[in-house]
Amino acid sequence: MADYIYTMEIRLTPDQLKGVGLVQDVARAAGMNLYLTGGAIRDIISGFSIRDLDFTVQGNPLKLQKDFEKAGAKIAAVEEDIRTIFLSLPGNARAEVSMARTERFEKTGKPPIVMPATIHEDLRRRDFTVNAMALSLNEGSRGLLLDPFNGVADLETKTIRILHNYSFLEDPSRLIRATRFAARFHWPLEERTQARYDAAKEGKYIDHILRSSIGHEIAALAHEDDPLNVVKMLEKEGWLQILHDRWTVAKVDTNGLSALMKTRQQMVDLGYTPDAGPAVMYFLTSHFSDKDVSDIQKLIPRKDLVEAWRDIEDHAKELAKRLMGKEAATPSRTWQLLSSARPEMVLFLAVTAKQQSVEQKIKNYLTKWRQVQQKLPLPEMTELLITPQLPIYPKLAHDVFMLLLDGKLRSRTETLKYLKPFAPPPPPPPPAPRRGRAAKAAADAAAAAATAAQAAKLGPKGKKGKAVPPAPAAPAPAVAKPEPKAKPSQKSKPAPKPAKKPAPKPPKKKTKKK
């Protein structure tokens, strides 16, 4: 049986995994059953990147707001009618916690009647089979996958399938969702789903889409890995205009968007996790008027996304100004400034900087300067016992890197000269072997074993003539004299001047005792 908890643990980012722990602790303390649901399960199983964590609780999550805040999450938005809270978890992880519910659609174009329900009932109100799975995070059933519509099978065949014939009629936003997923995953709609989709399109069901669903679908674009492709498909299907009547691909700064996604990938490869959402929205709406942008922003439920999008240009200007000032007068200072800036701002400025010097500094930060890190003489440092186990190591490595960046250490020799005073004293020698009768007994036993091994090697006749004498017992090592302590002390201190003292001698060679 598949171990979905293990798969979850290896597929989530460390921040997302911590987020699961946080939500789990809060739900458990409140005595609410908790499930990881929807797109998160789909992406965990299928291997796609996991954009956000969708949780479902049996109970009302709105009651947990204070507990989530106490645990370190920020409340990004609340939707009272469907009892859902949107969380920003530490480290750029996004989550949504919803009440398990049923939705009864009584009138086309009107919001459904929402009732609390069990997780099983909740899965029945979902859009597609691949999104209608839940993973239990509860004691006793942790790791159990609920998959009433055989979503795993559809994941295997890469198929998008609705749960019932009225799906698009009940909620026409599912037409947009179907197109978005088809564009993202390059999966086709299952045959009957396609037929229902075509009928819904022809019947103009989309005219009944709820305003709140439009906001959700706009926000979803912000987190696509290839937003341009999705927007093109939405335009082709006629859905982009539903999101905003003047929205076309011509409103998109396609060059800016491509550069953004490329730089984002570059940063991800370097280990950063920038939230590109606000910048994606900026480029998707670049050629809109301020009024249109503001109208679109009003529809988006997550206010943190809207605020970050609104402030993005001002924050980028601020960072650009600092990058042109004294604070970034040297490569090392620039490095420090950019390392402490939010990765999303570095990302945005990398593709929008107007000043060549700013552009160049960010480019160096993301490429050339990283290669300087390779100049740390690691083998020699290991010989000097300057290894990551030393408490001073991170600071020392950082200081050397900064000096290398600024050209203050120009060669391997200079770098080693700088490092030598920090070498710790060699470790004490191992204790001398036992002497007297115990040692003799051990030596005799070793000799007997060696003789037996040799005899076995030579075969019954000992063809090679004389047996090889047994290996001598291990000699007692000469007691190494402790080296004088290296100066300066191992405590973190500002970077010292290059060493004047001769380097501490390497430990004396062990002499064999005869």
Q: List residues binding ligand ATP (CB under 6 A).
A: 38-39, 51-52, 54, 96, 126-127, 131, 171, 173-174, 177, 216, 220
Alpha-carbon span 494 to 508, nearest angstrom: 32
Minimum distance, C-beta of residue 91 to ligand ATP, in the bound complex (Å): 18
- Longest distance between any two alpha carbons in the chain, whole Å: 101
Closest-by-Cβ residue to ligand ATP is 39
Alpha-carbon distances, residue 487 vs 323, 377, 403, 407, 491 (angstroms): 37, 20, 20, 24, 10
How many other CB atoms are found less than 10 A from the CB of residue 146?
Answer: 18
For the chain, how far is it from start to end, CA to CA, in angstroms? 63
Minimum distance, C-beta of residue 45 to ligand ATP, in the bound complex (Å): 13
SS3 of residue 189 by DSSP: strand
Minimum distance, C-beta of residue 377 to ligand ATP, in the bound complex (Å): 46
Residues in CB range of 81: below 8 A, 6 or more apart: 111, 114
DSSP for residue 327 = G
Alpha-carbon distances, residue 59 vs 29, 62, 110 (angstroms): 13, 9, 24
Alpha-carbon span 39 to 32, nearest angstrom: 21
Minimum distance, C-beta of residue 41 to ligand ATP, in the bound complex (Å): 8
Torsion angle (degrees, nearest 10) of CA 244, 249, 250, 254:
130
Q: Which is nearer to ligand ATP, 224 or 344 (CB)?
A: 224
Q: Which is nearer to ligand ATP, 134 or 312 (CB)?
A: 134
Contact assessment for residue 481 and residue 505, using Cβ atoms and an 8 Å cutoff: no
Q: Which is nearer to ligand ATP, 155 or 362 (CB)?
A: 155
Q: Which is nearer to ligand ATP, 51 or 196 (CB)?
A: 51
Q: Which is nearer to ligand ATP, 86 or 247 (CB)?
A: 86
Minimum distance, C-beta of residue 37 to ligand ATP, in the bound complex (Å): 6
Alpha-carbon span 140 to 126, nearest angstrom: 26
Q: Which is nearer to ligand ATP, 125 or 361 (CB)?
A: 125
Minimum distance, C-beta of residue 145 to ligand ATP, in the bound complex (Å): 14
* E-state strands within 419-464: none
Minimum distance, C-beta of residue 170 to ligand ATP, in the bound complex (Å): 8
Minimum distance, C-beta of residue 498 to ligand ATP, in the bound complex (Å): 54
Alpha-carbon span 330 to 334, nearest angstrom: 6
Alpha-carbon span 203 to 208, nearest angstrom: 11
Phi and psi, residue 94, nearest 5°:
-110, 145
Contact assessment for residue 347 and residue 267, using Cβ atoms and an 8 Å cutoff: yes
Q: Which is nearer to ligand ATP, 123 or 403 (CB)?
A: 123
Q: Which is nearer to ligand ATP, 149 or 365 (CB)?
A: 149
SS3 of residue 129 by DSSP: helix
Minimum distance, C-beta of residue 35 to ligand ATP, in the bound complex (Å): 11
Among 178, 179, 176, 224, residue whose Cα is nearest residue 48: 224
Minimum distance, C-beta of residue 158 to ligand ATP, in the bound complex (Å): 15
